[in-house]
Amino acid sequence: MAGKQTRTGRPTGLRLFRNLNAKVAAVPMVLTTLVVFVGGTLWTVLYSFTNSKLLPRMQFVGLDQYKRLWSNDLWNAAIWNLAFYGVMSLVFTIVMGFVLAVLLDQKIRFEDTFRTIMLYPFALSFIVTGLVWQWILNPEMGIQEVVRRMGFETFTFDPLHNPSTVLYGLLIAGLWQGTGFTMCLMLAGLRGIDEDIWKAARVDGIPKWKTYVYVVIPMMRPVFVTTLVIVAAGIIKLYDLVVAQTSGGPGNASQVPAMYVYRYMFTAQNLGQGFAASTMMLLSVLIVLIPWAYLEFGGKKHG
Amino acid sequence: MKNWKLAAGLLLSVALPSGAYATDLEVTHWWTSGGEAAAVAELAKAFDASGDHWVDGAIAGGGDTARPVMIARITGGDPMGATQFNHGQQALELVQAGLMLDLTDVAVANNWKDVVNPISLLEGCTIDGKVYCAPMNIHSPEWLWINNKIYEDLGIPIPTNWTEFVASAPQVDAAGKIPLALGRQPWQSTLAFNAIAVGVGGLDLWKKVNVDKDMDVAAGPEMLKVFQASADARKLAVKSTVQDWNQATNMVITGDAAGQIMGDWAQGEFAVAGKVAGKDYTCLPGLGLNAYLSTGGDAFYFPKLTDPDKEAAQKRLAALLVSPEVQVAFNLKKGSLPIRGDIDMSAANDCMKKGLEILKSGNVVPAGDQVWSPDVQTQLGDMQSEFWSGDMTPEDAQARYVEILKTGL
């Protein structure tokens, strides 16, 4: 019997041993991913159902940690702050990045210089960005003081110390840092558009803005999707910028979920609560990613 | 061949000294400001002089930053020789997990039970009858620091308590000064609230809520008065936008602000600025109303190590830290109060002497760190931070306060 099965047996055997070296080489990475990433994630989710304090403890308390989490004002405030920052940041980085890329694409002089200037902030870490903007927005030594010294004595610009404007202060710093990068992605996308399309549009007498909106942007869909994913991932893990610029203040007006996780896992010595919060963060990432992955990869296979 | 000799020589040079008496101990702490570093240098000097070697492991950024690092090292199997914690519940689980060295024999041999004053500090180190830490110094947070010059310029008497301070605030405000300096970090709001709770609310109330954990009292009208007083203080501090406590203290020193509620460590800043207690600034323990101080503080814990030489050195260090000479040298530099009452602190300044007298008279209450878990403390900090920077009503704040305390019962 075994001998007769070679016809069906061989292809699977071959498939397993094809590129054997490459597969062996990938084993450590696969193991790392499974053990550290997937294993660590599962461990965290499991222990989020316990009442672990400083040390992990297998004492299940059901959904208590989640109940406490969602009735906690600080957590809810952090979620809303992140949602607000996220939407604003997503819209503005993509719109501004695209507009800047279009402007740079007009065959202007010194394009390289402008591109370098725009991209420079991206080379700085969020910690440095946060500190620099904390100083710039500081009323005693930043913009407000400079304008006042120019003679406008009553000029007031102090976004970081007002709970209702502090998120805009963060947004300014975040946009300053991230827009140059999106601009470069967009510019690469624009350069990828075939010159013939522009020629055809010109022959047909279509205005330039219409060509951008109806022809170029739809053609740049992959670039937009890539940008969206990169920017969105950066938003959800937002932590260092806030720590450096406002440390969550004034009050809790600029708290974000990642800060809550750190605070409860380490300062409050309440691992269970921190795990519950980080599990919720994971869940929110999945809610964004799964539909996208389904549309991007699932859709292509069928189409 | 040469390499082998070199390697053997190196090996010997490492192996031989370990047989000798001197032992290296790494000590981690978060004392990094000017006065604190000078105080730590005293400890290192004393330990080195006794024949061992102090390896300094300072972690910058304050306790909230340093403690996670220390705990990660202890639980992660890379314990240091000794580490700073605040008395009480911060290291409780580490002790329960058997990660800390039992110091009972050192405590008995050096008679800590009789020399440590107040005894609550030693009780904070004691779990199930065993001593697990060496108390180092006392922190009392309930102080009101006042810039005298502002009041002299205004021609009004310098306030002698919180009530007068609040009453004089409109005049201070009218003169373009900030009545109350307050740093915008959660722990500072909590500190101010606790100081008001002891000062305005008094000792009985404080003990009923925090020691007896009577939630009816916490939700009662007496406690509401404390929240109302805090709301008053919030109004006085509305123009204070600095973050760090020493920036706020600096506002009082330079005369931008009239006063600050801050712990006894603030006098280090006044001393560095060359100000004289009683002449340039006034200090009011217990906000001048109830001269009670809560006695939290720092203590050294010793993680369990496998090397018996190191364990012996750990016990030598523990005994040394509580010894009279080290207590005097350390606390004079740091500006904090010593943990024993039988030593000569005549070199202390006016404010420190006030604190010593209160200690001697026994008007002390345990600190929040001792009676509530870090989890409750963190939640309280978040709540206070929101209360002090927003417009939450005292009634709402009190309701939230009670809810948070209940999670720690």
**Residue A100 is encoded by which pair of tokens?**
């800047």
Question: Which chain A residue lies closest to B380 (C-alpha atoms)?
Answer: A268
pLDDT higher than threshold 60 for residue B16:
no
Burial B183-205 (b: 16+ CB within 10 A, else e): bbbbbbbbbbbbbbbbbbbbeeb
Interface test with B, best of A81, A158, A267, A273 (most B CBs within 10 A): A267
Alpha-carbon gap: A68 to the closest alpha carbon of chain B (Å) = 10
Assess if residue B129 is contained within a domain: yes
How many C-beta atoms lie closer than 10 Å to residue B76's C-beta?
Answer: 8
- Residue to substitute from A269, A270, A273, interface B, most B β-carbons within 10 A: A269
**Which parts of chain A sit beneath pLDDT 50?**
1-9, 301-303
Does residue B285 form part of some domain?
A: yes
pLDDT tops 90 at residue B267: no
Q: Mind telling me how many Å the CA of A31 is from chain B's nearest CA?
A: 22
- Please tell me the distance from the alpha carbon of residue B252 to that of residue A272, in angstroms, as a whole number: 42
Whether residue B152 sits in one domain with residue B115:
no
B247 interfaces chain A, CB cutoff of 8 Å: no
The reply to whether B234 touches chain A by the CB within 8 Å rule is: no
Q: Residue B39 is part of a domain; what is its CATH number? A: 3.40.190.10
Mean pLDDT of chain B: 85
- Contact across the interface for B93 and A53, Cβ inside 8 Å: yes
B168 & B204 share domain: yes
Tally of CB atoms within 10 A around B339: 28
The reported pLDDT for the residue numbered A66 is 92
Question: Facing residues of B58 across strands?
Answer: B29
Pair (B239, B343) in one structural domain: no
Cβ-based neighbour number of residue B299 at 10 Å = 25
In this complex, do B184 and A273 lie within 8 Å of one another by their Cβ atoms? Answer: no
Same domain, A229 and A145: yes
pLDDT more than 70, % of chain B: 95
What element of type H or E holds B260? strand B257-262
- All residues of chain A having their beta carbon less than 8 Å from the beta carbon of residue B383 are 73
A52 by DSSP, 3-state: which?
A: coil
Q: Which residue of B lies nearest to A260 if distances are taken between CA atoms? A: B382
Mean predicted confidence (pLDDT) in B360-365: 79
| Cβ–Cβ under 8 Å, residues B42 and B48 | no
Taking CA atoms, what residue in B is nearest to A159?
B241
Among residues A70, A80, A69, the alpha carbon closest in space to that of A254 is found at A80
- Asked whether residue B260 carries a pLDDT value surpassing 90, the answer given is yes
Total beta-carbon pairs less than 8 A apart between chain A and chain B: 75
Residues in a beta bridge with B132? none
Q: Are residues A113 and A260 in the same domain?
A: yes
CA distance B234 to B244: 17
Question: Could you tell me if A120 and A197 lie in one domain?
Answer: yes
Give yes or no for B75 touching A (CB within 8 A): yes
ipTM rounded to 2 decimals: 0.73
Are A31 and A108 members of one domain?
A: no
Helix (H, G, I), strand (E, B) or coil at B285: strand
At residue B19, does pLDDT exceed 90?
A: no
Contact B390/A161, CB-based, under 8 Å?
A: no
User: A275 contacts in B (CB within 8 Å)?
Assistant: none
Indicate if the pLDDT at residue B360 is higher than 90.
no
Contacts of A53 in chain B (CB under 8 A): 93, 373, 375
- The minimal CB distance from B388 to the residues A54, A74, A251 is found for A251
Whether B229 is in a domain gets the answer yes
Cα-based distances in Å from A65 to A50, A77, A261: 8, 17, 13
Residue B9 lies in a domain: no
Are A134 and A256 members of one domain? yes
Of B71, B97, B378, the CB nearest to A264: B378
Q: How many CB atoms lie within 10 A of CB B225?
A: 16
Co-location of A71 and A25 in the same domain: no
Same domain, B172 and B134: no
Ranking A148-162, B317-331, B344-358 by mean pLDDT, the lowest is B344-358
Please report which confidence band the pLDDT of residue B228 belongs to, taking 50, 70 and 90 as the band edges. Answer: very high
Q: Are residues B108 and B188 in the same domain?
A: no
Judgement on whether residues A21 and A75 belong to the same structural domain of the protein = no
Q: What angle do CA B16, B17, B22 make, to 5 degrees?
A: 155
Based on the fold, state whether residues A42 and A123 are members of the same structural domain.
no
- Chain A nearest CA to B186, separation (Å): 7
Is residue B250 domain-shared with residue B304, that is, in the same domain? no
- B 124-153 → A contacts, CB under 8 A: none
pLDDT 10s digits, B77-135 = 889 999 998 877 788 888 888 899 999 999 999 889 888 877 888 888 888 889 999 99
- Residue B11 Cα, gap to closest chain A Cα (Å): 35
CATH of the domain at A296: 1.10.3720.10
Contact B396/A at CB under 8 A: no
Out of A55, A161, A269, whose CB is closest to B374? A269
**Cβ proximity of B144 and B283 under 8 Å:** yes
B134 and B281 part of one domain? no
Does residue A58 lie in a domain region?
no
Candidates B89, B375, B376, B391: best to mutate against A (most CBs of A within 10 A) is B375
| Among B118, B39, B106, B77, CA closest to B332 | B39
* B120 and B172 housed in the same domain: no
Both tokens assigned to A38:
């997937």
A55 to B97: CB separation less than 8 angstroms, yes or no:
yes
Q: Which of residues 182-211 of B touch A (CB under 8 A)?
A: 184-185
Owning domain of residue A29: 1-47
Residues B168 and B188 in one domain: yes
> Encoding tokens for residue B310?
């190191």
> In the predicted model, what is the mean pLDDT of residues B29-36?
80
Q: Cβ neighbours of residue B179 under 8 Å, at least 6 residues apart?
A: B165, B169, B172, B173, B236, B237, B257, B258, B259
Nearest-neighbour CA in chain A from B43: distance (Å): 27
Residues of A with CB under 8 A from a CB of B: 53-55, 68, 72-74, 139, 158, 161, 163, 247, 249-253, 263-264, 266-270, 273
Contact in structure between B321 and B116 (CB atoms under 8 Å): no
Of all residues in chain A, the one with the smallest CA distance to B74 is A55
Residue A300: predicted pLDDT: 53
What's the structural domain count of chain A?
A: 2
Q: Is B389's Cβ below 8 Å from some Cβ in A?
A: yes
Same domain, A39 and A74: no
Q: Which of A266, A273, A275 to mutate to test the interface with B (most CBs of B within 10 A)?
A: A266
pTM for the model stands at: 0.78
Report B:90-129 residues touching A (Cβ under 8 A): 90, 92-94, 97
By Cβ distance, the residue of B64, B375, B385 closest to A252 is B385
Contacts of B251 in chain A (CB under 8 A): none
For residue B337, tell me if it sits in a domain: yes
Q: Which residue among B75, B185, B373 sits closest to A55, beta carbon to beta carbon?
A: B75
pLDDT of residue A1: 41
Q: Is residue B1 part of a domain?
A: no
Same domain, A127 and A32: no
| ∠ CA B187-A133-B261, rounded to 5° | 25
Between A252 and B228, where is the model more confident?
B228
Count up the domains in chain B and report the number. Answer: 2
Residue A265 distance to chain B (closest CA, Å): 9
Cβ-Cβ contacts under 8 Å, A68 against chain B: 407
Q: Could you tell me if B126 and B68 lie in one domain?
A: yes
Tell whether A125 and A29 lie within a shared domain: no
Position A282 in a domain: yes
Residue B239 lies in a domain: yes
Q: Is B137 helix (H, G, I), strand (E, B) or coil?
A: strand
List the structure tokens of A141: 């030594």
Q: What confidence score (pLDDT) does residue A23 get?
A: 86
Which pLDDT tens digit goes with each residue over B146-165? 999 999 999 889 999 999 99
* Contact: B64, A267; criterion CB under 8 Å: yes
Report chain A residues whose CB lies below 8 A from the CB of B64. 267
- B283-311 tens-digit pLDDT: 898 888 888 777 778 899 999 998 888 89
**Poorest-pLDDT segment among A9-23, A83-97, B237-251, B344-358:** A9-23
Domain span including residue B229: 143-294+372-406
Judge if A158 and A213 occupy the same domain: yes
User: What is the arithmetic mean of pLDDT over B247-264?
Assistant: 90
Burial string for A50-75 (b: 16+ CB within 10 Å, else e) reads: bbbbbebeeeeeeeebbebbeebebb
Q: What is the pLDDT of residue B224?
A: 93
Is B378 in the A-facing interface, judged by CB distances under 8 Å? yes
Tell whether B172 is covered by a domain: yes
Same domain, residue pair B389 and B277: yes
For residue A289, the model assigns a pLDDT of 78
Q: Does some domain include residue A26?
A: yes
Amino acid at A264: Y
Is B357's pLDDT higher than 70?
Answer: yes
Same domain for B166 and B201, yes or no, is yes
